[in-house]
Chains A and B, each alone.
Chain A
């Protein structure tokens, strides 16, 4: 299992578009992907789940990857966060 902490840096936080981007990317892989914010833990492959987090700018999120392709999955997901989902 890989655990990594990311910081949300884009202005609008995780709204519908980034949420669907994350879940779409995650769904390409077989591994499990969980996101934790405070005491909420949701499945990273579910758009509803990601949006329920209501994560705004400067929120810290913990990401958990577990499975056969966890490394590749982690790299691609973290890249999304680093690129601010292609936003400002």
Chain B
């Protein structure tokens, strides 16, 4: 995760969140260290016991009206006291409001940037919050391949050379979409893991024996996707005789990725086996489970009912002394 300065926030979101800089530029190098926001109404009023000064301070109509309702000298003193006590990263003001001359003047003195936005408070709050949550989200790069199969994000993992890329290529040629091959950059948003592709490098793939392939040019725009939620992991493992593979699927297994539980399927591979068809089935099975249809459970129910029915007939016939 890169450090975020107020200047970066300002430049990245200037257009989206309609920012104008009210203060001088010298405070822009200040660093934003938390994704949370603060509404400092109570802090202005004097209650600073639990004041979250290290967050971005969002001022709406209420805060600005409160500041305006004060006598200029009281206002000056209150703001000055607050600024000399706390190291605030920056202020963002909504609705194009002007947060009084005293605030801007004192902010300049303490090198605190003051940014104005024309957006309504709630929209601005959510816009800022989304951006910050995204920026501060836990993320990392993993060695895997991510494919969108029938709209289900399937993360294919397994040791080098086991056939992750070949599996993805077969899926793409069956009409599914590649997000990233070999390296997936993953990010946690709320409780969802999003995988994306390195935007500069695009959708290339390495197939042993051929070399590099440009998937976008070869299969067209329908074969690629920029990002996708990871819903199931398929771990390819070398097929070994006598190993205990899952046969029924009543018990679901999970793998923790960035602290989120993702269902995982261990798939034994052997030469000549069509992994792509199996991965398609895994995707469809995942969807059925999401919609409440678990094949293993249903089959199990049927077997049990059948046994029960036979038992009933048998006891009936046994008591039949005709």
Contact = CB atoms under 8 A, between A and B. Distances in A.
Contacts of A16: 212
A41 B182 CA distance: 12
Interface string A33-47: 000000111110111
Contacts of B182: 42-43, 46-49, 52
Nearest to A38: B2
A54 B198 CA distance: 10
Interface residues of B, number: 19
Nearest to B204: A48
B183 A46 contact: yes
B122 interface: no
Query: Which among B142, B143, B200, B212 has the highest number of chain A CB atoms within 10 Å?
Result: B143
Interface in B202-226: 204-206, 212
Given A39-B140, A40-B141, A41-B140, A46 B160 contact: yes
A77 interface: no
Interface string B156-188: 000011000000000000000000011101000
Given A46-B182, A54-B200, A27 B141 contact: no
B161 A45 contact: yes
Contact of B198 (A27, A43, A45, A52): A52
A22 to B, nearest CB: 13
B290 interface: no
Interface in A3-17: 16
A40 B1 CA distance: 10
Nearest to A36: B141
A42 B143 contact: yes
Contact of B143 (A39, A46, A51, A54): A46
A46 B206 contact: yes
B190 interface: no
A56 to B, nearest CB: 13
B20 interface: no
B161 A27 contact: yes
A76 to B, nearest CB: 17
Contact of A52 (B140, B161, B183): B183
B18 interface: no
Contacts of B198: 52
Contact of A42 (B139, B183, B201, B212): B183
A48 B139 CA distance: 19
B227 to A, nearest CB: 16
A37 to B, nearest CB: 10
Contacts of A54: 200-201
B212 A47 contact: yes
Given A45-B160, A49-B182, A52-B183, A39 B139 contact: yes
A49 B181 CA distance: 9
A49 B318 CA distance: 70
Contact of B183 (A27, A45, A48): A48
Contacts of B1: 39
Query: Which among A42, A47, A49, A52 has the highest number of chain B CB atoms within 10 Å?
Result: A52
26 contacts: A16-B212, A27-B160, A39-B1, A39-B139, A39-B141, A40-B141, A40-B185, A41-B140, A41-B142, A42-B141, A42-B182, A43-B160, A45-B160, A45-B161, A46-B143, A47-B182, A47-B206, A47-B212, A48-B181, A48-B182, A48-B183, A48-B205, A49-B143, A52-B198, A52-B201, A54-B200
Given A42-B182, A45-B161, A54-B201, 7 more contacts: A16-B212, A39-B141, A41-B140, A47-B206, A49-B182, A49-B183, A51-B201
Interface of B: 1, 139-143, 160-161, 181-183, 185, 198, 200-201, 204-206, 212
- Please list the 8 inter-chain residue pairs (A to B) with the smallest Cβ-Cβ separation, ordered nearest first: A48-B182, A43-B143, A45-B160, A46-B182, A40-B141, A49-B183, A52-B183, A47-B206
